[in-house]
Structure 1
């Protein structure tokens, strides 16, 4: 089978990470096969307009993944976690693991030359301590990639800055999460993950076999709220959601917040900047995109409230 050394398959292409990876790969001159279950969807159409080849494939269907990967050299894999936008209400960690395993199996079957998987920071601490379910699921996928002996790079980013742009954190005129107000949290812009993934594909000899944690900044929730408020010119108090209230909805999500408030991510921010000097801190991320995304969300909720 002849491999195209300029073709990278992107699984999860219409999600935040997939779109960022596709953007950077196309900008660097790669041919991208963007996989999606709905080639006619809004995000898929937008990817096609930027030059990606949109291909129908589903992460629960290994055969469709193998067919989409045939002849490509690289493959980027990311799976949604429980509660991610667009996932079914009954989507579980077992579904996430199965999808990640399926993509890895397809890469193995297609003879992919470089497999880049986005996991999560601290997933490798699984053997030493109890971790939140979303970290354990990523670790299980990592272990399957290793068992297949794929020529792989594992990227482990911390929480995303984009988590603060919508209803997950913006409610009733406040920034509000289960995170303790004064506990520093490591965060990173999704675009920077896309850039590092593209760098890994561009330098396979340097990157195959690497497992690297990534972070761009470390701020308390109070500092994050203040930075957003300053960027938008509005007061934005931070209010912590009681863990017991979160536990009433999800024990796993409650534990994840407790873990972040006590142990949390420990990525090396200077090391990330050494890899990508342009890695954004939170203030830099707010300037080009973050503030406008947050403003658009607040405007939409304000209009919705007026119409109610």
Structure 2
């Protein structure tokens, strides 16, 4: 039985990883800045040891990591900026190194090691490089685009009007993954540390074009959904970072060996986009208040 510290435990990736580890019988320290949140309470009910930790508070990290066997590390620039993401990720690696953890699994982004020029990919790659130099046994898992993003924000707003607004051509394929599959794969890596130490693995569950996504959403939502290509110029007015990401998706492509992952790690239970979409409660989602983001 492992004792695994999980950062971002009340978020999508950390929460999915915590749940997968708990289901496998391991001890989970769910690290969060908000231990009094409803999401933290949900983890407590599942058996997690919820602890306060703040990437900008070294003492809180030291206390949260002391005595743990391994760490699942997730960082984000959203809500702060890419410089903060790199600073916080570096601090987390340093704290784990000082705690002499046996394994760090860092979740980055698919292709972040390829010089994409996408700001939030580059910030993650800087953390990856620091991790590799730390001397602690490490693994980098690098998820593709998140299916879960389609259940909120401007994408969900568009679905209410029968439109899947996406800043890519109708026939350009790209790789996708839901948080539940990230968590299942991360738990697998943590449990089989010797097999995965020193490896960087891009992960995805499916590959679809925007047109195919719209078709799957039509079936899942129960109403016609049509893909509409959102101009990159419009995205750029909201976020130059996301615009750079979509430009990379369109020009270079986000290819991941989906078939190989399904063949080599069937126990993850990889979800196709169609299966994932069919499992969402679209009635509740579409009746929620629009974000107007």
Matches within 5 A, 1:55-70: 55-70=51-66
Whether the aligned pair in 2 keeps the contact of 1:170 and 1:176 (CA below 8 Å) is no
Residue of 201, 213, 216 corresponding to 1:212: 201
Residue of 110, 118, 125 corresponding to 1:132: 118
* Counterpart for residue 142 of structure 1: 128
In 2: Cα distance, 1:60 partner to 1:177 partner: 35
SS in 1 for 2:248: helix
In 2: Cα distance, 1:251 partner to 1:233 partner: 34
Name structure 1 gaps, 5 residues minimum: none
Shift of residue 203, structure 1, vs aligned partner: 1.1
In 1: Cα distance, 2:132 partner to 2:67 partner: 22
* Counterpart for residue 183 of structure 1: 172
* Counterpart for residue 76 of structure 1: 72
Whether the aligned pair in 1 keeps the contact of 2:31 and 2:52 (CA below 8 Å) is yes
Over the aligned positions, Cα root-mean-square deviation in angstroms equals 1.6
TM-score, length basis structure 1: 0.89
Q: Give the total of aligned pairs.
A: 287
Deviations 1:181-209 (A, max 9, x none): 22111101111111111111111111111
Whether the aligned pair in 1 keeps the contact of 2:173 and 2:253 (CA below 8 Å) is no
Please say if 1:299 is aligned against 2:280.
no
Shift of residue 31, structure 1, vs aligned partner: 0.4
* Counterpart for residue 283 of structure 1: 274
In 1: Cα distance, 2:241 partner to 2:102 partner: 36
Name structure 2 gaps, 5 residues minimum: none
Whether the aligned pair in 2 keeps the contact of 1:62 and 1:105 (CA below 8 Å) is no
Matches within 5 A, 1:1-308: 6-82=2-78, 87=79, 91-126=80-115, 130-172=116-158, 173=161, 174-277=163-266, 278-288=269-279, 291-292=280-281, 294-301=282-289
In 1: Cα distance, 2:164 partner to 2:91 partner: 37
Shift of residue 170, structure 1, vs aligned partner: 2.3
Whether the aligned pair in 2 keeps the contact of 1:20 and 1:195 (CA below 8 Å) is yes
Deviations 1:140-182 (A, max 9, x none): 0000001112201110110011111112312341111222222
Higher mean Cα deviation, 241-250 or 43-52?
A: 241-250
Shift of residue 10, structure 1, vs aligned partner: 0.3
In 2: Cα distance, 1:274 partner to 1:8 partner: 27
Whether the aligned pair in 1 keeps the contact of 2:174 and 2:255 (CA below 8 Å) is no
Higher mean Cα deviation, 210-219 or 169-178?
A: 169-178
In 2: Cα distance, 1:211 partner to 1:16 partner: 21
Shift of residue 94, structure 1, vs aligned partner: 0.5
